[in-house]
Amino acid sequence: CFVRDMRSILLTHAVVSLMVGGSDAFVPSRAFSQGRVGSLSQKRLSSPRKFPQVVVRSTDPTIELVENIELIGDDSAAFALEKQSLEDWIKFSAATGFVLISLSYLWFLPMGPHWGDTFLETTQSTIGTTDPALTIFSMLTIFAVCHSGLAGLRPYAEEIVGARAWRVLFACVSLPLALSCISYFVNHSHDGPRLWDVTGVPGLHGLFWITNFISFIFLYPSTFNLLEIAAIEKPQLHLWETGIIRITRHPQAVGQIMWCGAHTAWLGTPTAIAASSVLVLHHVYSMWHGDRRLKMKHGEAFEQVKARTSWVPFAAILDGRQQLPEDYYKEFLRGPYLLVVGGTTAAYFAHPFMQAGAALLKW
């Protein structure tokens, strides 16, 4: 079961048109198109929402108790059809199509210069082996350094080249590297000795499928911001606060850990272990990296959001720091999440096609 393959493709496609983020290392951007609620550093809504009339309590004595805090972050996955511009979406389609076709020619297609083959060969010659586990470990490490490195340089680079130009550069580096890793993993995930085999255990396939499905719900809200991700609208570093952020401040990392756990347990191969180890370490790092970047951008506003959220799922809710609205479920009944549910289901049934497509590379 390779549900994550489509997830990665969708995320990296979204960077131009990112995965896996990420996580905050995966360049946060704007709501599916619109959805700002405001922040301390930017304008508020005319009638901001409030938390319930209770004191925010914490088991951590270093956290200041706050009462009646307004929602100062951004509204996750908000999408209003009436606010959409047909012209913007035409530009989006044209821009993403051009970038994807260009990168496909340069990186993968037989008639192109085969930069993807060069990347794979260079990686294997550097590590001195063609072993699949060591190869995918190295490829993903290169991706992680480039991806998070460029994300870390973002505030400085944007001052020089602008937010849109930096987003395009980020995408042109991250997208082909990510797709290379995905393709190689699909082709070699079953390689090597099977260290354990739980495929015959009743109920486990269903359990792992549900785990993978839920992991898609833990997409970082900026994943939905297609117009910003494609630089049609100016990319923003958003301070999200609603939706999945109420459960965990780092949903991309949590979702990735869930996906890696399920796939590694099911496959039981050295290649799966190697890939998952890098992905988990990268996303654990992205928790610190993302918080650092949000602190630099939003200052005190981030500290207040951090005080009433947690990276451990449900921890802030259980210890009373996060008070869920009575209509909390409505924060998920939005277009972007419906698209995620449909796309995740379709990806499961599209696995044979993804495997066939990856096999064409003969990697």
pLDDT of residue 120: 97
Q: Where are the alpha helices (DSSP H) in 250-363?
A: 251-267, 270-298, 300-307, 315-318, 335-349, 351-359
pLDDT digits (tens, 9 = 90+) for 143-191: 999 999 999 999 999 999 999 999 999 999 999 999 999 999 999 999 9
At 217-235, the pLDDT tens digits run 999 998 888 999 999 999 9
In the predicted model, is pLDDT for residue 324 greater than 80?
yes
**What is the model's pLDDT at position 359?**
81
In the chain, % of residues over pLDDT 70:
81
Cβ-Cβ contacts under 8 Å for 135 (sequence gap 6 or more): 120, 123, 124, 127, 129, 184, 188
Look-up: residue for tokens 């996060």? Answer: 322
- DSSP letter assigned to residue 47: S
Give residue 78's region: left, alpha or beta (phi > 0; psi -120 to 50). Answer: beta
Give the H or E element holding residue 67.
strand 66-67
**Taking a C-beta distance cutoff of 8 angstroms, is the pair 146, 178 a contact?**
no
Q: Angle at CA 64, nearest 5°, toward 63 and 68?
A: 125
Largest CA distance in the chain: 64
Tokens 């990268």 map to which residue? 282
Strand partners, 74: 240
Query: Which is higher by pLDDT, 58 or 111?
Result: 111
Task: Show Cβ contacts of residue 35 under 8 Å, excluding neighbours closer than 6 positions.
Answer: 74, 75, 76, 77, 78, 79
Q: Is the pLDDT of residue 267 over 70?
A: yes
- Report pLDDT digits (tens) over 272-307: 999 999 999 999 999 999 999 999 999 999 999 999
Span of 90-94, 254-258, 335-339 with lowest mean pLDDT = 335-339
Would you tell me the crossing angle of helices 163-188 and 3-16 to the nearest 10 degrees? 160
For the stretch 30-68, pLDDT in tens is 333 333 333 333 333 333 444 443 333 333 343 343 444
Q: What is the mean pLDDT of residues 11-27?
A: 36
Backbone phi, psi, residue 49, to 5°: -75, 155
Query: Do residues 218 and 262 make contact, with C-beta atoms less than 8 angstroms apart?
Result: no
Of residues 37, 63, 61, 62, the one with CA closest to residue 51: 37
Average pLDDT, the chain: 83
Q: Residue 94: pLDDT above 80?
A: yes
Structure tokens at 140: 């993903």
Q: What is the pLDDT of residue 308?
A: 94
Strands 55-56 and 66-67: antiparallel
State the amino acid at position 217 in one-letter form. I
- b/e sequence 18-56, b meaning 16+ C-beta within 10 Å: bbbbbbbbbbbbbbbbbbbbbbbeeeeeeeeeebeeeeb
Total residue count of the chain as it appears in this document: 363
Predicted confidence (pLDDT) at residue 321 exceeds the cutoff of 80: yes
Average pLDDT over residues 119-141: 97
| pLDDT > 90 in the chain, percent | 69
pLDDT interval class at 361 (50, 70, 90) = confident
Closest by Cα among 88, 83, 103, 75 to 16: 103
